[in-house]
Amino acid sequence: MAQGTRIVIVGGVAAGMSAASQARRRKPDATVTVFERGPYISYGSCGMPYNIEDPERSIDDLVVLTPEKARESRGIDLHLRHEVTAIDPGSRTVTVRDLEAGSERTEGWDALVIATGASAVRLPLPGFDLPGVTVLRELTDGALVKRLLAEGRKAAAIVGGGYIGMEMAHVLTSRGLRVTVLEKLPDILPGWGPETVALVRKELERNGVDVRTGVSVTGAEAGPDGSVAAVTTDAGPVEADLVLQAVGARPNVRLAAEAGLRIGDTGAIWVNQYQQTSADGIWAAGDCAEAYHRVLRRNAWIPLGTTANKQGRIAGANVVGAAQRFAGIVGTSGFKVFDLEVARSGLGFDQAKAEGFEPVAVTITQRSRAHGYPGGSPIQVTLVADEPTGVLLGGELAGRDGAALRANVLGTALAAHMTVSDLQGLDLVYAPPFAPVWDPVLVAANQLAKKVGRR
């Protein structure tokens, strides 16, 4: 690209600011302009539950890069509360609306990065616009939840039994609220194996969380003060003066779709492994974009902060002439609910079957530390493999001591397309304070090896 390149980035959180910083670092004479419709940039949204748990912490503690530092030390032309309302790939312009002034202008670009993220799903139910009903996706949502808790809310209903629902059940219980989890499906944690789900459900109930599955929420009702007082369901009302909608997110693709860019089968923006979209001069990164899945060998949509930062960094390098390639994802993730660590990587049994594999699986329980060393506790490991080839497809772990980070072993094995035999042969650390001679992952691999490659 020519000297003096004009780079415009739509969105200023994880992917957007990673792209902006990388472009400026690689091409200091470029003009890098970021338009962010919200009041914050570059914040750790995954840390919101833990910030909410501590009433003394400011939600601003989650901000990684302040607007002042972005402008002054990184030389980024940053505009908060500015929303890009249209992209014209032909004229290479964007239409930008100043949300505070109400004015609108056109901005030209030589290279464009779309980093519009994803939005929390809000249920179109009667009463779900009442005060006290919220989601948890952006930093402003976290600030609202903290304010509601400071007002002395007593009972919470969490609609949805996914990651956010699990973390917030823990957090709101620790803040002294009576918590009810409402899940429409037969059980919590859709897509996870039944053995993992059973442990998580037991942990929730052990800590006083009322878990109700197979229940459809129909609306919400107000109390005398006009705020939410109850959630209505097909099984009767649930008292709640705080209602958290945690039923998933959708990629923000309107701008891209209206500009004629290809939207992938997942509903997110299609990109190749260089973060290029279907339009010349336009890249996309983060929760609005697809990512190459190394197990499925095709694009998938698994919105996570780690992926957003990596994709943003690659997009920022490539808009100024690099040719960096995003290696892809394998779906590694985790969460903590009370004292239980839960993590996974790759495909679950049902997903593997739906994708055309011939999966087999095992679940084992093994202590986290060597026999006789104090402080260890059981770790449950589930592994899934393709029966005819022996290739590892995925796994899940749950336990109270060192369970979650063991998923990184699985993530590495999946990225390398290892077989179960390869996994058996890994030289993993052994020391009594950290692991037994046979690490729980290896014990599971040894058991799974008995089920694969038998044809």
pLDDT band at 1 (very low <50, low <70, confident <90, very high): very low
The pLDDT tens digits for 191-242 are: 999 999 999 999 999 999 999 999 999 999 999 999 999 999 999 999 999 9
pLDDT of residue 453: 78
Task: Indicate whether 181 belongs to any domain.
Answer: yes
Indicate whether 113 and 255 sit together in one domain: yes
Task: Indicate whether 335 belongs to any domain.
Answer: no
Indicate whether 109 and 140 sit together in one domain: no
The pLDDT tens digits for 69-102 are: 889 888 999 999 999 999 999 999 999 999 999 9
Is residue 284 pLDDT above 70, yes or no? yes
Residue holding tokens 């994709």? 311
Task: Indicate whether 299 belongs to any domain.
Answer: yes
Indicate whether 191 and 98 sit together in one domain: no
Indicate whether 89 and 181 sit together in one domain: no
Parallel, antiparallel or unpaired: strands 82-88 and 93-98:
antiparallel
Indicate whether 403 and 300 sit together in one domain: no
Provide the CATH number for the domain around residue 382. Answer: 3.30.390.30
Burial tier of 161 (Cβ tally within 10 Å: 0-12, 13-18, 19+): buried
Q: What gap in Å lies between CA 337 and CA 209, rounded to an integer? A: 11
Q: What is the rounded average pLDDT of the residues 244-264? A: 97
Residue 349 has which token pair? 């049994």
Q: What gap in Å lies between CA 385 and CA 130, rounded to an integer? A: 47
Sequence-ordered list of residues with C-beta below 8 angstroms from that of 393, at least 6 positions apart, any chain: 295, 346, 347, 352, 357, 359, 384, 385, 386, 414
Burial tier of 454 (Cβ tally within 10 Å: 0-12, 13-18, 19+): exposed
Indicate whether 287 and 243 sit together in one domain: no
Q: What gap in Å lies between CA 226 and CA 205, rounded to an integer? A: 31
Count of domains for the chain: 3
Give the range of the structural domain holding residue 436, as residue numbers without chain letter: 340-449
pLDDT band at 454 (very low <50, low <70, confident <90, very high): low
Provide the CATH number for the domain around residue 75. Answer: 3.50.50.60
The pLDDT tens digits for 114-156 are: 999 999 999 999 999 999 999 999 999 999 999 999 999 999 9
pLDDT > 70 fraction of the chain, expressed in percent and rounded: 99
The pLDDT tens digits for 334-369 are: 999 999 999 999 999 999 999 999 999 999 999 999
Strands (E) located in 223-271:
228-233, 238-239, 242-245, 249-251
pLDDT of residue 386: 98
pLDDT of residue 73: 82
The pLDDT tens digits for 286-306 are: 999 999 999 999 999 999 999
Task: Indicate whether 323 belongs to any domain.
Answer: no
Residue 394 has which token pair? 């995925």
Query: Nearest 10 degrees: CA dihedral of 308, 310, 311, 317?
Result: 140
Indicate whether 258 and 283 sit together in one domain: yes
Task: Indicate whether 330 belongs to any domain.
Answer: no
Does residue 428 sit in helix, strand or coil?
A: coil
Indicate whether 243 and 126 sit together in one domain: yes
Task: Indicate whether 101 belongs to any domain.
Answer: yes
Residue 202 has which token pair? 């037991």
Positions marked active-site? 46
Is residue 2 pLDDT above 70, yes or no? no
pLDDT of residue 237: 96
At position 398, the amino acid (one-letter code) is: A
pLDDT of residue 3: 43
Q: What gap in Å lies between CA 32 and CA 24, rounded to an integer? A: 7
Which of 213, 247, 281 is where one domain is finished?
Answer: 247
Indicate whether 144 and 111 sit together in one domain: no
Task: Indicate whether 371 belongs to any domain.
Answer: yes
Indicate whether 100 and 136 sit together in one domain: no
Is residue 455 pLDDT above 80, yes or no? no
Task: Indicate whether 327 belongs to any domain.
Answer: no
pLDDT of residue 315: 98
Task: Tell me the average pLDDT of the chain.
Answer: 96
Indicate whether 378 and 301 sit together in one domain: no
Which of 230, 247, 264 is where one domain is finished?
Answer: 247
pLDDT of residue 127: 97
Strands (E) located in 405-446:
none
Sequence-ordered list of residues with C-beta below 8 angstroms from that of 251, at least 6 positions apart, any chain: 116, 117, 118, 266, 267, 268, 269, 287, 288, 289, 301, 303
Indicate whether 273 and 361 sit together in one domain: no
Whether the pTM exceeds 0.85: the reply is yes
The pLDDT tens digits for 380-428 are: 999 999 999 999 999 999 999 999 999 999 999 999 999 999 999 999 9
